[in-house]
């Protein structure tokens, strides 16, 4: 499911820290869209946000957010605390009611029920003591496809197996979810998104709390997933690593400050505008 | 003590005793089954509030239409609804969190219900509502218990898939297509119904134990959330039946014995669970 080699570094550099390997499984082309012009009938699936305004608990949390991106890209949401990063992710996941504006996925308004969009919670928000094994967590990803009662078939089991394999979790599948390292926990949730056959992965601070090797591993994984044609959107707070982990960046401070490829938009001027005076706030 | 008691076999020949035994199985299983939901939802306190709030509802119904099985049930249902919704309203419209609101609501409601019942000259019945009287169950009571148990088990089983996602990630379950609001109402209704059915067996003070301890015990033994439901049901039923047989020769109250037995089972799991017990090597530091 995840292709090699990685684009960064010399050959084999990615293999150090248990980075997921999977040479046996090809991407399941009919489910996953393809970026870089290779998407289905010549177009990458597009996610478009138009003049978004969202209130969160009565407070205006986001306004004037407009951008468009597509499968095959990774986008970092950058901004100070309370800038609206999580609100934007939750809006994209269909968890919040929009005050104004629209979110279009593949040309259609997003209803929040699409199995093609997966939301991955912040690690701190997960109840790690829940009696759940890694495998059972990944199996949950089949729910949007199966509904309440349809039988869990061999086909579903195959997809779960592929997701576990791709995330290098096969040996850990019977572990309770708290008995994993931070990086493994992150991969378990990504595996669930893969089992869900999601095109878009929305991640809330995925790098937070991971040590250096685990961060590198996850970064490599991001590259694999985007090369496969998935769209990754993640809130991120470590400004030093933005360039290394992401293609595009959206600078937010309740409003959109800048959006574009990291090289063009992740500038000192834009950052100053995003973070200025927040220290005194 | 046992010399003036008929032997257990003679006792079981009595329809009253057989009904009580059957009630232990039904009510124990239903409460144990639902306890999985209560434990995973971390709502033991809320259940405690609800069960205490049943008393003023019963008192009010008795005051209005006299004491019958149905009036008591209707009163209990009404009170539970009122307190459940009241605590949500209080916490939303004031600075207090829901725990605080519930703490005030249930003690006040309970005290008010106690006052009404003591004024009504049905003192002999009061103990039964507070602590249950499983030996006094009629056929109708058994049918009600059976219907509620069946409804609870069927509904929670049918909803198992969305329910587990809802319990694991209540705030984001909607993004996986789970009908969160529907589940909220459905599970609240079932919790109240099962609570009412347990009222007769263990009374409103002890019912929290029956609705928390069984799944809490299984929680210490497994990593499988589904096992909590059936395991909780089995422990609830077995514990209640064991308590029934234990209480008879000792002359103990059945309801109190049920809770003590379930508490003892929990303690055993807490100490000896191979996975998460006090002495488990796998226990995380």
Nearest Cβ partner of B172 from A95, A136, A143?
A: A95
Give the separation between CA B114 and CA B125, rounded to whole angstroms: 12
Determine whether the interchain pair B223/A133 forms a contact, defined as Cβ–Cβ distance below 8 Å. Answer: yes
Phi and psi dihedrals of A140, rounded to 5? Answer: -55, -30
Contact B203, B136 (CB under 8 A): no
ipTM: 0.84
> What percentage of chain A has pLDDT greater than the value 70?
82
Tell me yes or no: is domain A34-275 CATH 3.40.50.300.
yes
B166 contact residues in A (CB cutoff 8 A):
none
**What is the pLDDT at residue B282?**
60
Determine whether the interchain pair A136/B219 forms a contact, defined as Cβ–Cβ distance below 8 Å. Answer: no
Contact A169, A187 (CB under 8 A): yes
Nearest Cβ partner of A176 from B164, B169, B223?
A: B223
- CB contacts < 8 Å between A and B, how many? 65
Higher pLDDT, B107 or A35: B107
> 3-state class of B265 per DSSP?
helix
What residue spans define the domains of chain A? 34-275
CA distances from A93 to A78, A110, A188, B175 (A): 18, 9, 19, 6
Contact B237, B29 (CB under 8 A): yes
Determine whether the interchain pair A196/B176 forms a contact, defined as Cβ–Cβ distance below 8 Å. Answer: yes
**What is the pLDDT at residue B237?**
96
pTM of the full structure: 0.83
A140 contact residues in B (CB cutoff 8 A):
164-165, 168, 176
DSSP string, B59-127: HHHHHHH-S-HHHHHHHHHHHHHHHHHHHHHHHHSSSS-HHHHHHHHHHHHHHHHHHHHHHTT-HHHHH
B228 contact residues in A (CB cutoff 8 A):
131
For an interface test with A, which of B172, B232, B273 has the most A Cβ atoms less than 10 Å from its Cβ?
B172
Nearest Cβ partner of A131 from B165, B171, B225?
A: B225
Nearest Cβ partner of A121 from B169, B228, B284?
A: B169
Crossing angle of the two packed helices B98-119 and B123-131, in degrees rounded to 10? 150
For chain A, the residues whose C-beta falls within 8 A of a C-beta of chain B are 93-95, 112-113, 115, 117-119, 121, 125-127, 130-133, 136, 140, 143-144, 146, 148-149, 176, 178-179, 196
Among chain B residues, CA nearest to A193: B176
Crossing angle of the two packed helices B180-210 and B139-158, in degrees rounded to 10? 130
pLDDT over 60 (residue B2): no
B154 contact residues in A (CB cutoff 8 A):
none
**Chain segment B40-91, per-residue pLDDT in tens:** 998 888 888 888 888 888 788 878 887 676 777 788 888 877 877 777 777 6
Q: Measured between CA atoms, how close is B162 to chain A, in angstroms?
A: 7
**What is the pLDDT at residue A19?**
42
Nearest Cβ partner of A112 from B158, B175, B227?
A: B175
Radius of gyration of chain B (CA): 19
B168 contact residues in A (CB cutoff 8 A):
127, 130, 132, 140
Among chain A residues, CA nearest to B216: A131
A127 contact residues in B (CB cutoff 8 A):
168-169
Rounded to 5°, the CA angle A175-A179-A185 comes to 90
Q: Measured between CA atoms, how close is B148 to chain A, in angstroms?
A: 22
Average pLDDT over residues B105-109: 84
**Chain segment A20-73, per-residue pLDDT in tens:** 444 334 444 444 554 333 344 446 789 999 999 999 878 899 999 999 999 999
């Amino acid at each position: 499911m995840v292709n090699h080699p990685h684009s960064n570094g010399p050959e084999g550099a990615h293999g150090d820290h248990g980075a997921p390997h999977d040479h046996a499984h090809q991407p399941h082309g009919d489910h996953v869209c393809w970026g870089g012009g290779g998407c289905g009938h010549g177009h990458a699936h597009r996610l478009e946000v138009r003049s978004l305004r969202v209130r969160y608990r009565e407070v205006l949390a986001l306004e004037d957010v407009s951008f468009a991106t597509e499968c095959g890209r990774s986008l970092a949401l950058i901004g100070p605390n309370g800038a609206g990063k999580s609100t934007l992710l939750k809006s994209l996941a269909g968890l919040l009611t929009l005050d104004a504006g629209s979110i279009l996925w593949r040309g259609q308004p997003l209803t929040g029920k699409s199995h093609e969009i997966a939301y991955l919670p912040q690690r701190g928000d997960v109840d790690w003591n829940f009696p759940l094994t890694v495998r059972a967590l990944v199996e949950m990803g089949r729910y949007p496809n199966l509904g309440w009662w349809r039988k869990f078939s061999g086909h579903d089991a195959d997809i779960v197996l592929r997701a576990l394999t791709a995330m290098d979790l096969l040996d850990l599948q019977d572990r309770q979810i708290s008995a994993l390292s931070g990086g493994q926990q992150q991969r378990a949730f990504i595996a669930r998104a893969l089992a869900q056959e999601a095109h878009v992965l929305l991640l809330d601070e995925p790098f937070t709390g991971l040590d250096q090797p685990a961060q590198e591993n996850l970064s490599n994984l991001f590259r694999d997933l985007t090369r496969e044609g998935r769209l990754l959107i993640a809130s991120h707070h470590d400004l030093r690593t933005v360039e290394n982990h992401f293609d595009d960046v959206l600078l937010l401070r309740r409003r959109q400050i800048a959006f574009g490829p990291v090289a063009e938009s992740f500038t000192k001027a834009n950052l100053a505008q995003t973070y200025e005076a927040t220290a005194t706030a | 003590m046992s010399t003036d008691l008929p032997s257990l076999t003679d006792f079981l020949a009595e329809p009253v005793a057989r009904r009580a035994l059957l009630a232990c199985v039904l009510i124990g299983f239903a409460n144990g089954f639902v306890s999985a939901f209560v434990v995973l939802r971390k709502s033991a306190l809320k259940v405690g509030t609800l069960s205490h709030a049943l008393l003023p509802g019963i008192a009010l119904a008795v005051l209005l239409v006299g004491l019958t099985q149905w009036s008591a049930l209707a009163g209990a249902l009404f009170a539970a609804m009122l307190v459940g919704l009241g605590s949500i309203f209080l916490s939303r419209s004031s600075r207090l969190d829901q725990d605080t609101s519930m703490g005030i609501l249930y003690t006040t409601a309970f005290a008010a219900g106690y006052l009404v019942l003591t004024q009504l000259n049905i003192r002999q019945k009061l103990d039964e509502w507070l602590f249950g009287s499983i030996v006094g169950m009629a056929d109708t009571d058994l049918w009600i218990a059976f219907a509620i148990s069946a409804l609870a088990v069927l509904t929670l089983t049918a909803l198992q898939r969305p329910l587990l996602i809802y319990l694991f990630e209540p705030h984001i379950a909607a993004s996986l297509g789970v009908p969160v609001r529907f589940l909220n109402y459905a599970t609240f209704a079932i919790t109240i119904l099962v609570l009412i059915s347990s009222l007769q067996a263990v009374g409103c003070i002890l019912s929290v134990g029956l609705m928390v301890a069984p799944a809490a015990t299984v929680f210490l033994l497994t990593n499988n959330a589904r096992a909590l439901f059936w395991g909780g049901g089995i422990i609830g039923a077995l514990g209640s039946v064991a308590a029934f047989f234990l209480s008879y020769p000792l002359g103990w109250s059945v309801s109190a014995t049920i809770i003590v037995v379930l508490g003892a089972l929990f303690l055993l799991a807490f100490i000896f669970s191979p996975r998460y017990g006090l002495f488990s090597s796998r226990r995380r530091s």
